[in-house]
Structure 1
Amino acid sequence: MWRDILKYGAIAGLVVGAVMIVGFWSAGGDMPHGAMGMVIGYATMLLALSAVFMGIKHHRDVAGGGVIRFWPAFGMGLGISFVAALFYVAAWEFVQATIVHDFAGSYAASVIAAQKAKGIDPAALARLTADMEAFKVQYANPLFRLPMTFAEVFPVGVLVSLVSALVLRNPRVLPAR
């Protein structure tokens, strides 16, 4: 089981990491903040985390003789998601060090610009600007940034693991050939 967790976790992590690196590199380090950036990011995560489903199914069919219970399947999915999230964090750190040098500054500027466009009042704008300056300081700290980055992808992996375990515990769903 551990070998499958590492194998499928690495596959998922390499997919999501490679898409991130290629995407930022091809865009010249520019990133879409807001809804479009989230749609692209989470769609990529879902695509990559389909390896959770494939890994559980492979283990069910090969090691389990076509049968797997919910909890072992869910645990395996969580393991694959954990490994994939570690790859995601490593890829983001690579992107930040080499391609996107000032993510926090760019993000803060986009949040402030979006609120200015909405016509935010001056007092709220001053509070927002102070909050964004504090965010930039926090984001420079790896003890803040790394868990925050991990928390972007791992909850998606938990949901994919839950659905995969629920579906694949039924041996009639995609039976082994």
Structure 2
Amino acid sequence: MVNNILKNGILGGMIAAIVMASMVFYMKANPGEEPNAIISFISMLLAFTFLILGIREQREINNGTITFGSAFLTGLGISFVIATIYVLVWLFIYNNFFPDFMDRYGEMVLKNAKPEGLAAKTTEINQMKEWYKSPVMVVLLTYMEIFPIGIVISLIAGLILKKK
């Protein structure tokens, strides 16, 4: 089970991390343009296909049977590995290549904000800048970008792929 989780988690994590790194470097090279959030979301879903493959593989290892609990835990493990790789790659990029990320991101968001929502966006960006002063918050915020998607997909895949 552990080998299955690690193998599929690493493969999915590589996809999520490569696309995230590409989007971040695109944003750094083109400071006025906002990266496409749809591409980021689709890449996360693509990375989580390895979660489904991992659950199916675990079912085959168990002679074609898997309970919801076992399927969910397998998916959760794969999700955690994917999210951890994503977080580690972000920390590496943030600390070594893009330490002014929050300033640039804040400028981009405020520049693209509608006038009626500018005050709310300014407050939101200032809160995020404050959070980004703490390394623990950087880690937690980055996990919150990807891990909840993995939890939801683990639940759905566990329900669909369970087989007695």
In which range does the TM-score fall when normalised by the shorter chain? Answer: 0.7 to 0.9
Normalised by the length of structure 1, the TM-score is 0.80
Aligned equivalent of 1:109? 107
Q: Which structure 2 residue ranges, 5 or more long, are not aligned? A: none
Indicate the larger mover: 42-51 or 158-167. Answer: 158-167
**Cα distance in 1 for residues equivalent to 2:64 and 2:138:** 41
Displacement after TM superposition at 1:77 (Å): 0.2
**Cα distance in 2 for residues equivalent to 1:131 and 1:108:** 9
- Superposed CA RMSD in Å reads 2.4
**Cα distance in 2 for residues equivalent to 1:94 and 1:64:** 38
Percent identity at matched positions?
31
**Cα distance in 2 for residues equivalent to 1:59 and 1:152:** 27
**Cα distance in 1 for residues equivalent to 2:39 and 2:74:** 26
Displacement after TM superposition at 1:28 (Å): 5.1
Distance 1:113 1:79, change over 3 A: same
Displacement after TM superposition at 1:130 (Å): 5.2
Contact 1:50 1:160 in 2 (8 A): no
Partner amino acid for 2:116?
A: I
Q: Which structure 1 residue ranges, 5 or more long, are not aligned? A: 172-177
1:108-127 mapped onto 2 (5 Å cutoff): 108-115=106-113, 118-120=114-116, 125=119
Is 1:49–2:62 an aligned residue pair? no
Displacement after TM superposition at 1:155 (Å): 0.8
Rg (Cα) greater in structure: 1
Aligned equivalent of 1:11? 11
Displacement after TM superposition at 1:6 (Å): 1.3
Normalised by the length of structure 2, the TM-score is 0.85
Displacement after TM superposition at 1:27 (Å): 6.0
Which of 137, 159, 163 lines up with 2:130 in the alignment? 137
Aligned equivalent of 1:169? 162
Indicate the larger mover: 101-110 or 157-166. Answer: 101-110
Displacement after TM superposition at 1:26 (Å): 5.6
* Cα deviation code 1:122-154 (max 9, x no counterpart): xx63x7545533421321311111111001111
Aligned equivalent of 1:174? none
**Cα distance in 2 for residues equivalent to 1:170 and 1:21:** 37
Aligned equivalent of 2:70? 72
Contact 1:52 1:77 in 2 (8 A): yes
Q: Give the paired residue count.
A: 163
